[in-house]
Chains A and B, each alone.
Chain A
Amino acid sequence: MAAHLCYGRVNLNILREAARKDLREFLDKCAGSKAIVWDEYLTGPFGLIAQYSLLKEHEVEKMFTLKAGRLPPADVKNIIFFVRPRLELMDIIAENVMSEDKMQSPREFNILFVPRRSMLCEQRLKEQGVLGSFTNIDEYILDLIPYDGDLLSMECESAFRECYLENDQTSLYHTAKGLMTIQALYGTIPQIFGKGECARHVANMMLRMKREFAGSQTQILPVFDTLLLLDRNVDLLTPLATQLTYEGLIDEIYGITNGYVKLPPEKFAQKKQGEGGKDLPTEPKKLQLNSAEELYAEIRDKNFNAVGAALSKKAKIISAAFEERHNAKTVGEIKQFVSQLPHMQAARSSLANHTSIAELIKDITTSETFFDNLTVEQEFMTGVDTDKVNTYIEDCIAQKDPLIKILRLVCMQSVCNNGLKQKVLDYYKREILQTYGYEYILTLNNLEKTGLLKPQTTTRNNYPTIRKTLKLWMEDANEQNPNDISYVYSGYAPLSVRLTQVLARPGWRSIEEVLKMLPGPHFEERQPLPTGLHKKRQQGENRTTLVFFLGGVTYAEIAALRFLSQMEEGGTEYIIATTKLINGTSWIKSLMDKPEVNI
Chain B
Amino acid sequence: MAFVTATWNPLGEAFYRKTEVYEMGWRLSSGLRDCLVAAAPYGGPIALLKEPQRRSPSARPQLEIYSSSGCSMASFVWKSGVVKHLGWTVSDDLLCIQEDGTVLIYDLFGNFKRHFSMGNEVVQNQVLEAKVFHSPYGTGIAIITGAFRFTLATNIDDLKLRRLPEVPGLQGPPTCWAVLTQDRQSKVLLASGLDLFILDNTACSAVTPPGLSPQVCSIVQMCVSFSYKYLALFTDSGHVWMGSANLKEKLSEVETKVKTPPKQMVWCRRPKSHQPSVVMMWERHLLVAGECKETIQYKQMTCQVLIDRLVYRKLYPLAIEICRYLKTPEYQGVSRVLKHWACCKVQQKEESDEAIARAVSVKLAEAAGISYSEIASKAYECGRTELAIKLLEFEPRSGEQVPLLLKMKRSQLALSKAIESGDTDLVYTVVTYLKNEMNRGDFFMTLRNQPVALSLYRQFCKHQEQDTIKDLFNQDDDHQELGSFYVKASYKEKRLEARLSLLQSAVDEYNKAKNEFAAKATDEEMRLLRFQRRLEEEKGEQLLGLSLQDTLRVLLSVGLNKPAEQLYKDFRVPDKRYWWLKITALADKEDWDELEKFAKSKKSPIGYLPFVEVCVKKHNKSEAKKYISRVTPEQKVKAHLAVGDLEGAAEAAIERRSEAEISMVLSRCLSTTDRGLVDRLNRARSTTAKK
Interface residues of B in 402-428 (CB under 8 A from A): 420-426, 428
Specify which chain A residues have a CB less than 8 angstroms from the CB of B577 in the assembled complex: 394, 397-398, 431, 434-435
Does A70 belong to the interface (CB within 8 Å)?
Answer: no
Nearest 6 pairs between A and B by C-beta?
A215-B368, A215-B369, A167-B455, A398-B580, A595-B491, A438-B525
Cβ–Cβ contact B160 & A597, under 8 A:
no
For A28, list chain B residues within 8 Å (CB).
184
B549 at the interface (CB under 8 A from A): yes
Residue in B484, B521, B548 whose CB lies within 8 Å of A429: B521
Q: Which parts of A175-214 form the interface with B (CB within 8 Å)?
A: 176, 201, 204-205, 208, 211-214
Stretch in A47-55, A95-103, A117-125, A537-545 touching the partner = A117-125
B385 at the interface (CB under 8 A from A): no
Asked if A123 and B432 sit within 8 Å, CB to CB, the answer is: yes
A168 within 8 A of B: yes
Within 8 A of A (CB), among B624-669: 638, 667
Instruction: Given the known inter-chain contacts A167-B452, A169-B452, A173-B423, please indicate yes or no for A441 contacting B576, CB distance below 8 A.
Output: no
Residue pair A441, B522 in contact (C-beta under 8 Å): yes
Residues of B within 8 Å of A400, CB to CB, are: 549
Determine the residue in chain B with the shortest Cβ distance to A204. B422
- Does the CB pair A595–B492 fall under 8 Å? yes
In contact, B184 and A168 (Cβ under 8 angstroms): no
Interface string of A351-394 (1 = CB under 8 A from B): 00000000000000010100000000000000000000000001
Report chain B residues within 8 Å CB of A211. 396
Residue-wise interface mask of B (519-540) relative to A, using a CB-CB cutoff of 8 A (1 in contact, 0 not): 0011011001000000000000
Find chain B residues with CB under 8 A from A394 CB.
574, 576-577
Q: Is the beta-carbon distance between A599 and B494 smaller than 8 angstroms?
A: yes
Q: Is B464 an interface residue (CB 8 A)?
A: yes
A118 partner residues in chain B, CB cutoff 8 A: 425, 428
Nearest chain-A residue to B553 (Cβ)? Answer: A400
Binding site for B on A (CB under 8 A): 28-29, 31-32, 77, 85, 87-88, 105-106, 108, 116-120, 123, 135, 166-170, 172-173, 176, 201, 204-205, 208, 211-216, 366, 368, 394-395, 397-400, 426, 429-431, 433-439, 441-442, 445, 593, 595-599
Residues A433 and B521 in contact, CB atoms below 8 Å apart: yes
Q: Given the known A-B contacts A123-B432, A397-B577, are A215 and B335 also in contact in the complex, defined by CB atoms under 8 Å?
A: yes
Q: Which residue of A lies closest to B552 (CB)?
A: A434
B571 in the interface (beta carbon within 8 A): yes
User: Assuming A216-B331, A598-B493, is B484 touching A445 (CB within 8 A)?
Assistant: yes
Which one of B331, B488, B517, B584 lies within 8 Å of A442 (CB-CB)? B488
Chain A hits for B521, CB < 8 A = 429-430, 433, 438, 441
Q: How many Å from the CB of A89 to the closest CB on chain B?
A: 11
Known: A31-B183, A120-B425. 12 other contacts (CB 8 A): A77-B202, A119-B429, A123-B429, A167-B451, A168-B459, A208-B420, A216-B331, A368-B638, A398-B576, A398-B606, A434-B549, A595-B491
Q: How far is the CA of A445 from the CA of B486 in the complex (A)?
A: 14
Residues of A within 8 A of B491 (CB): 439, 595-598
A28 to B185, CA, bound (A): 11
Given contacts A169-B424, A169-B452, A442-B484, contact A105 B396 (CB under 8 A): no
A300 to B580, CA, bound (A): 40
Mark B574-591 against chain A: 1 for CB-CB distance below 8 A, else 0.
Answer: 101100110010000000
Could you write out 22 A-B pairs with CB less than 8 Å apart? Answer: A32-B185, A77-B202, A88-B463, A123-B432, A166-B455, A167-B451, A168-B455, A205-B422, A208-B420, A208-B421, A211-B396, A215-B335, A394-B576, A395-B606, A398-B576, A426-B517, A433-B548, A435-B549, A437-B547, A441-B484, A598-B494, A599-B499
Kindly state whether residue B456 has any CB partner on chain A within 8 Å: yes
> Does A85 lie within 8 Å of B425, measured CB to CB?
yes
* Residues 147-172 (chain B) with a chain A CB within 8 angstroms: 160
Q: Is the CB of A434 within 8 A of B548?
A: yes
CB of A437, distance to nearest CB on chain B (Å): 4
Residues on the A chain within 8 Å of B518, using CB: 441, 445
For window 286-305 of chain B, which residues contact chain A by CB distance below 8 Å? Answer: none
Shortest B589–chain A CB gap in Å is 17
A105-B425 in contact (CB<8A)? no
Query: Complex Cα distance A169/B184, Å?
Result: 39
Structural contact, B487 and A441, CB atoms closer than 8 A: yes
B residues 447-461 near A (Cβ < 8 Å) are 451-452, 455-456, 458-460
* Complex Cα–Cα for A173 and B427 (A): 12
Q: A123-B429, A167-B455, A398-B581 are in contact. Are A438 and B463 (CB under 8 A)?
A: no
Residues of A contacting B459 in the complex (Cβ-Cβ under 8 angstroms): 166, 168
Cβ–Cβ contact B584 & A399, under 8 A? yes
Interface residue tally for chain B (C-beta within 8 Å): 69
Q: Which of B463, B488, B499, B638 has a CB less than 8 Å from the CB of A87?
A: B463
Other-chain residue from A117, A173, A213, A429 in contact with B422 (beta carbon distance below 8 A): A173
Complexed CA–CA distance, A580 and B545 (Å): 35
CB distance B426 to A119 under 8 Å?
yes
**Is B309 on the interface with A (CB-CB < 8 A)?**
no
Cβ-based interface call for B330 (8 A): yes
Within the complex, what minimum Cβ distance (angstroms) separates A429 from chain B?
A: 7
* A169: B residues at CB distance < 8 A: 422, 424, 452
A435 and B463 contact, CB distance less than 8 A:
no
**What is the bound-complex CA distance between A330 and B426, given in angstroms?**
73
B425 and A212 form a contact (CB under 8 A): no
Q: How far is the CA of A88 from the CA of B456 in the complex (A)?
A: 16
Closest Cβ neighbor of A32 among chain B residues: B183
Chain A residue at minimum C-beta to C-beta distance from B510? A441
Q: Which of B424-477 contact A (CB under 8 A)?
A: 424-426, 428-429, 432, 451-452, 455-456, 458-460, 463-464
Q: Given A87-B464, A215-B335, A397-B577 in contact, is the A599-B545 Cβ separation under 8 Å? A: yes
> For the complex, is B217 an interface residue (Cβ under 8 Å from A)?
no
Interface hub of A77, A135, A204, A438 (most chain B Cβ within 10 A): A438
- Report the bound CA distance from A368 to B635 in whole Å: 13
Against A, the Cβ 8 Å flags (1 = close, 0 = not) of B478-493 are 0010001001100111
Closest CB of chain B to A198's CB: distance in Å? 12
Across-interface contacts of A438 in B (CB, < 8 A): 521-522, 524-525, 528, 547
- Residues of chain B within 8 A (CB-CB) of A596 are 491-492
* Residues of chain B within 8 A of A204, CB atoms compared: 422
CA distance A434 to B570 in the complex (A): 12
Q: Do B426 and A436 have beta carbons less than 8 Å apart?
A: no
Interface residues of B in 319-347 (CB under 8 A from A): 330-331, 335
Residues of B within 8 A of A437 (CB): 546-547
Across the interface, name the chain B residue whose C-beta is closest to A368: B638
Whether, in the assembled complex, B32 has its beta carbon less than 8 Å from a beta carbon of chain A, the answer is no
Partner of B544, one of A205, A435, A599: A599
For B548, list chain A residues within 8 Å (CB): 433-435
B512 interfacial by beta-carbon distance below 8 Å = no
In the bound complex, residues from chain B placing their C-beta under 8 Å from that of A201 are 422
Partner of B456, one of A77, A168, A445, A598: A168
* B547 A120 Cβ-Cβ under 8 A: no
Nearest chain B CB to A490 CB, angstrom units: 15
User: Does B359 sit within 8 A of A, measured CB to CB?
Assistant: no
Residue of B nearest to A116 (CB): B425
Determine how close the nearest CB of chain A comes to the CB of B273; give it in whole angstroms.
30
Residues in B349-372 with C-beta less than 8 Å from chain A: 367-369
Distance of B496 from chain A, by nearest CB (Å)? 8
How far apart are B368's CB and chain A's nearest CB, in angstroms?
Answer: 2
A167 to B368 Cα, complex, angstroms: 35
Residues of A within 8 A of B574 (CB): 394, 431
Judge whether A208 and B331 touch: CB under 8 Å.
no
User: B369 and A120: CB pair below 8 A?
Assistant: no
Q: A395-B606, A429-B517 are in contact. Are A595 and B488 (CB under 8 A)?
A: yes
B397 CB-CB contact with A under 8 Å:
yes
Q: A435 contacts B576, CB within 8 Å?
A: no
Asked if A434 and B330 sit within 8 Å, CB to CB, the answer is no
Say which residue of A32, A77, A120, A167 sits within 8 Å of B429 (CB atoms).
Answer: A120
Minimum Cβ distance to chain B for residue A540 (Å)? 38
Q: Which residues of A contact B420 (CB under 8 A)?
A: 208
